[in-house]
Structure 1
């Protein structure tokens, strides 16, 4: 998925499947390439599946996918995507970090799908680069890897690497690859076979179809999500936007039927919900990361939003993993 085509044809891409990887993102990346091969009448793309030990990998949906190679068996490929989803940290250790660093040193262009960028960032391979990953993970990722420019785009492709937000974003990234390698006509034919809308560009935001297309509102929400740990006051938020706080109130009431305070709190609590389900951080640590000064205020707000306490959600999440 590198910008420039590799020296060999067909183009070969590796997919490293970490435990609980997102099956939908993986298949969304593969299917456009398979269809391009069929319509093109020749093998334009090939792919290899890798797991840590070469054994089958269980995806987040419980389905199992066979791998062709273990880490130590994998031959050189021009490009390799790290496929992850829930709990990417559980798969990151010294062996994986060293293996990724060796691939980068060998000239392989590395990318991440869904939460795959966690592994690349832990290996120190994303500093001062622009990447994307699933929007739910962006606040946590930005806090942990401040030297990485993590943005809420659908996908990113640069000379150094590539990344996509997961889900259907992988279709757009693969269509972009087909377009760059083999032209607009083939990409359009593949898109028609997939019954997919006009391919989104990297600048498209992941949730642009889910929110009213009001620039000030989108800017306000982006500011909220960039400041979950230390929430801005509503007047501060209005000042950042260059509008009065009364206009900010009207903006949220008109488009979301919420006050700015309610919308901000909801985003902080939804972020806490994900952290409780998918990370090992303690409840108080998560409370502080989401802008709450005490466990009691966090628990009350969380119960109102989600119908159970943070501790109970954590117990449920641990039970589901057992």
Structure 2
């Protein structure tokens, strides 16, 4: 998936499968390559699956997949995709980080699928680069790794890295690879086999959230999403949009039937809910990541919304 083609055919890609990786994203990345091989009548792409210890890896859907290699025995490949999903930091340890750094030092282009960029960023391999990952994890990623430019796009490809948002976005990224290597004609035939809509572009947003017609409202919502950890005062939010406080209030009530304060709080609590479900962070750390000054203020707001404390909600089956 590197930008510049390697010197050999087939082009080999490694897929490092971390615990609870997204099976749908992995298969979505591989299937276009398989179809390209079949249509062309030759092996244009080859791939290998890698796990930390060489054993099978359990995906987020509970299914297991055998790995071809352990990290220590994996062959050199021009491109390596780190595949993760829920709890992306669960499998990260010093051995993994050292191995990723060694691969990058050996001119392997490393990238992330779904939330795989957490491991790459922890290894210090993404500083000052533009990446994407699943929209649910963007706020936490941005807070953890402020030196990485994390955007909500379908996929990103640079000379030094690649990344996609997971799910069907991996199809788009693999189709882009096929197009760059072997042209539009082949990618069109692969897309037809996948019955895939050609309308999405790399910079397309991951979610169709029914973007409001009013551009000021959309800008306000985008500012809220980008400032969950350190919430903006409503007056500052209005000032950034060149609106008065009252105009901003009327805008939200007219389109969303709620005040900007309530919408902002709901978004922070929704992010907290995802962190409680998908990470092992303490309630205090989650409170701070969602813009609450203390665990007690977070607990009160969370209980008003869900009827349970964050700790009790986390214990639900």
TM-score by length of 2: 0.94
Farther-moved stretch of structure 1 (62-71 vs 179-188): 179-188
Measured in 1, the distance between the counterparts of 2:223 and 2:258 equals: 17
The 5 A counterparts of 1:300-311 are 300-311=300-311
Aligned residue for 1:36, secondary structure, equals: helix
Distance 1:49 1:85, change over 3 A: same
1:113 is aligned to 2:113 = yes
Measured in 2, the distance between the counterparts of 1:27 and 1:247 equals: 48
Q: Report the RMSD for the aligned CA atoms in angstroms.
A: 1.7
1:210 Cα shift?
Answer: 4.5
The answer for unaligned runs of 5 or more in structure 1 is none
1:65 is aligned to 2:46 = no
Measured in 2, the distance between the counterparts of 1:247 and 1:97 equals: 49
Distance 1:63 1:88, change over 3 A: same
Contact 1:12-1:79 at 8 Å conserved across structures: yes
Measured in 2, the distance between the counterparts of 1:253 and 1:198 equals: 37
Aligned residue for 2:90, secondary structure, equals: helix
Contact 1:82-1:116 at 8 Å conserved across structures: yes
1:126 is aligned to 2:120 = no
Distance 1:261 1:158, change over 3 A: same
Q: Which residue of 1 aligns with 2:279?
A: 279
Aligned residue for 1:150, secondary structure, equals: strand
Measured in 2, the distance between the counterparts of 1:132 and 1:224 equals: 19
Give CA deviations for 1:234-258 in whole Å, capped at 9, x if unaligned.
2211211223333433433444333
Q: Which residue of 2 aligns with 1:218?
A: 218
Measured in 1, the distance between the counterparts of 2:197 and 2:148 equals: 31
Q: Which residue of 2 aligns with 1:149?
A: 149
Q: Which residue of 2 aligns with 1:172?
A: 172
Give CA deviations for 1:140-174 in whole Å, capped at 9, x if unaligned.
11111111111111110000010011111111111
The answer for unaligned runs of 5 or more in structure 2 is none
Q: Which residue of 2 aligns with 1:40?
A: 40
Q: Which residue of 1 aligns with 2:239?
A: 239
